[in-house]
């Protein structure tokens, strides 16, 4: 079935240009020159995509965007804005527009936008919950049933249907990259690449080359042409993690790339159009960074079109135990060992721990506990939660904790893997003797052997 696109613009020349372009793409079209006629065509023509100018004789593109959001939320709508009117484009995105096109219209960018937007309704419909009709909701790796996490999942599904930049805010270890990837996978861009980049890990001298690419011979060491991160994310999603760490000089260039939807490689002479959705994140307070002059206000407003807060683990209640079960399964599978279980006392301790390091801390705690535990169950002392050691007695039925006399191995003087391998070689791979030499239990040594893949050695 041929897909339909409605064009609303008061300039006949623009309507004719857009209509011809869409017809050449094999699409059915209809046009209108006012808000009133546009609303009638939406009802009668029932488009799969709507393109609307921002300035119309009897209203604005906002009227169209709001109506479609209210009455036909499954239909993506893109706005056509005057050149340089980024404020209007950003406001339209906040109101629910899928994307924007600047005048004079770049037909190559328009075709990219239309092709991506039509994927929203190609296999979906009014009841489609996600931009990617093939997405399997059962495969969602965001684990949890708390109200906070259920709201997060619903918000992700809504944001996946938009092109609007999303700023993901949350404390370290909450899973911001996981959230960004889910927005990508549930979007019509899921067939494209998801390109995550830690902005704080790139040397400032290489940033422009990494983001925009470079031409052979453009600087010392540029022995061949190289595509940048924006080009790698063409038709996909670019995730800028720890975006607050970008130097001001790079912020200016990033802003231009986002606004113009084009990049110029180092040493290049022409800009190349890019069709990339931008998601960003940081654990820092960007508003404070702007006030301090560390982050450009115009870039902040461009990235922070929609803000998504990721809840801390402390806000997620019983999700802690669901996540603990998940991580214990992963650890057992990764190390090919029997799954360890939490004792009732450990469950109570974990349920009362604040987890300042969030989900990442929980995973690290459980991996360490599996290594230290020498029984079938992980006990409170295996968790090594020193910050709540004084509260454990009240948590575990006011019973005193039995301190273990286990001798904990000290690897501070050198590499743990090397010392374990040395002990195994000394004892001719007698694991019981090696464990005794290292001052750990047989179970502790067994976990470490699996962890470092030492069992693959002769």
**Strand 272-273 relative to strand 277-282, pairing:** unpaired
* DSSP E strand stretches across 326-456: 341-342, 377-378
Specify whether 215 is located in the same domain as 342: no
Residue 394 CA, distance from chain mean position: 39
Residue 282's H or E segment, with its range, is strand 277-282
Specify whether 182 is located in the same domain as 322: no
Distance in angstroms (rounded) separating the CA atoms of residues 212 and 210: 6
Question: In the chain, how many domains are there?
Answer: 4
Specify whether 418 is located in the same domain as 382: no
What's the CA angle centered on 369, arms 368 and 372, to 5 degrees?
Answer: 90
Residue 71 CA, distance from chain mean position: 29
Q: State whether residue 38 is helix, strand or coil.
A: helix
Q: What are phi and psi of 189, to 5 degrees?
A: -90, 5
CB 316 within 8 A of CB 146: yes
| pLDDT, tens only, 91-142 | 888 888 998 888 888 898 899 899 989 987 664 444 444 567 666 666 788 9
Residues in the chain with pLDDT < 50?
A: 123-129, 387-409, 412-413
So what's the pLDDT on residue 442?
74
Q: State whether residue 324 is helix, strand or coil.
A: helix
So what's the pLDDT on residue 386?
57
Given 294, 311, 328, which residue is the final one in a domain? Answer: 311
Specify whether 199 is located in the same domain as 229: yes
Domain that includes residue 102, residue range: 4-122
* Residue 129 resides in a domain: no
So what's the pLDDT on residue 402?
36
CB 308 within 8 A of CB 179: yes
**Strand 28-32 relative to strand 166-169, pairing:** unpaired
Distance in angstroms (rounded) separating the CA atoms of residues 307 and 169: 7
Quote helix, strand, coil % in the chain, to nearest 5.
50, 15, 40
Specify whether 453 is located in the same domain as 436: yes
Specify whether 202 is located in the same domain as 275: yes
Burial class of 24 by CB neighbour count within 10 A (0 to 12, 13 to 18, 19+): exposed
Distance in angstroms (rounded) separating the CA atoms of residues 446 and 423: 13
So what's the pLDDT on residue 123?
46
| pLDDT, tens only, 344-389 | 999 999 998 989 999 999 999 999 999 888 778 999 989 988 544 3
Specify whether 152 is located in the same domain as 269: yes
So what's the pLDDT on residue 138?
63
Specify whether 211 is located in the same domain as 97: no
Return the CATH number at 456.
Answer: 1.10.10.60
So what's the pLDDT on residue 408?
45
- HSE value, Cβ hemisphere, 13 Å, CA-based, for 361: 18
- Dmax of the chain from CA atoms? 88
Return the CATH number at 58.
Answer: 3.40.50.2300
- 267 to each of 47, 160, 208, 212, 257, how far by Cα in Å? 44, 35, 11, 10, 16
What's the CA angle centered on 412, arms 411 and 414, to 5 degrees?
Answer: 70
- 281 to each of 167, 177, 179, 303, how far by Cα in Å? 6, 8, 10, 9
Distance in angstroms (rounded) separating the CA atoms of residues 309 and 317: 17
CB 42 within 8 A of CB 72: yes
Specify whether 244 is located in the same domain as 142: yes
So what's the pLDDT on residue 454?
81
Specify whether 424 is located in the same domain as 398: no
Given 90, 122, 154, which residue is the final one in a domain? Answer: 122
Distance in angstroms (rounded) separating the CA atoms of residues 107 and 309: 36
Return the CATH number at 320.
Answer: 1.10.8.60
Taking the CB of residue 61, how many other CB atoms lie within 10 A of it?
A: 29
The whole-model pTM stands at 0.78
Residue 7's H or E segment, with its range, is strand 4-8
Distance in angstroms (rounded) separating the CA atoms of residues 170 and 176: 7
Specify whether 170 is located in the same domain as 44: no
CB 400 within 8 A of CB 393: yes
Specify whether 426 is located in the same domain as 393: no
Residue 28's H or E segment, with its range, is strand 28-32
Burial class of 144 by CB neighbour count within 10 A (0 to 12, 13 to 18, 19+): buried
């Amino acid at each position: 079935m041929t897909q339909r696109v409605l064009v609303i613009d008061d300039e006949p020349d623009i309507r004719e240009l857009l209509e011809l372009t869409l017809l050449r793409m094999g699409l059915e079209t209809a046009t209108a020159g006012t808000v009133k006629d546009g609303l009638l065509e939406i009802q009668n023509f029932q488009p799969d995509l709507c393109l609307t100018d921002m300035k119309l004789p009897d209203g604005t593109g906002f009227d169209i965007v709001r109506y479609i959001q209210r009455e036909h939320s499954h239909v993506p709508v893109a706005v056509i804005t005057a050149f340089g009117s980024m404020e209007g484009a950003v406001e339209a995105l906040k109101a629910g527009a899928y994307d924007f096109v600047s005048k004079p219209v770049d037909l190559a960018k328009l075709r990219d936008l239309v092709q991506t937007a039509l994927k929203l309704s190609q296999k979906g419909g009014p009841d489609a919950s996600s931009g990617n009709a093939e997405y399997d909701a059962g495969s969602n790796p965001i684990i949890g049933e708390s109200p906070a996490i259920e709201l997060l999942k619903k918000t992700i599904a809504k944001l996946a249907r938009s092109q609007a930049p999303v700023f993901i805010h949350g404390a370290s270890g909450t899973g911001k990259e996981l959230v960004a990837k889910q927005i990508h996978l549930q979007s019509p861009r899921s067939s494209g690449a998801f390109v995550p980049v830690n902005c704080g890990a790139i040397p400032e001298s290489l940033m422009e080359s990494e983001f925009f690419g470079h031409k052979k011979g453009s600087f010392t060491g540029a022995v061949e042409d190289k595509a940048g991160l924006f080009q790698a994310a063409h038709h996909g999603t670019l995730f800028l993690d720890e975006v607050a760490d970008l130097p001001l000089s790079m912020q200016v260039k990033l802003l231009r790339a986002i606004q113009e939807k084009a990049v110029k490689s180092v040493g290049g002479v022409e800009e190349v159009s890019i069709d990339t959705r931008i998601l960003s994140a940081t654990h820092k307070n960007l508003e404070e960074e702007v006030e301090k002059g560390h982050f450009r206000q115009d870039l902040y407003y461009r990235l922070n079109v929609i803000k998504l807060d990721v809840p801390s683990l402390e806000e997620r209640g019983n999700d802690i135990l669901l996540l603990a079960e998940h991580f214990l399964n992963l650890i057992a599978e990764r190390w090919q060992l029997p799954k360890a279980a939490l004792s009732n006392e450990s469950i109570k301790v974990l349920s009362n721990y604040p987890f300042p390091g969030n989900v990442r801390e929980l995973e690290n705690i459980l991996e360490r506990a599996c290594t230290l535990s020498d029984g079938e169950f992980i006990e409170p002392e295996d968790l090594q939660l020193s910050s709540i050691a004084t509260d454990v007695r009240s948590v575990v039925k006011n019973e005193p904790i039995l301190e273990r006399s286990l001798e904990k191995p000290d690897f501070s003087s050198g590499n743990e893997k090397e010392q374990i391998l040395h002990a195994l070689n000394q004892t001719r791979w007698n694991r019981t003797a090696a464990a005794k030499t290292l001052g750990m239990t047989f179970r502790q040594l067994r976990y470490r052997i699996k962890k470092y893949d030492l069992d693959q050695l002769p």
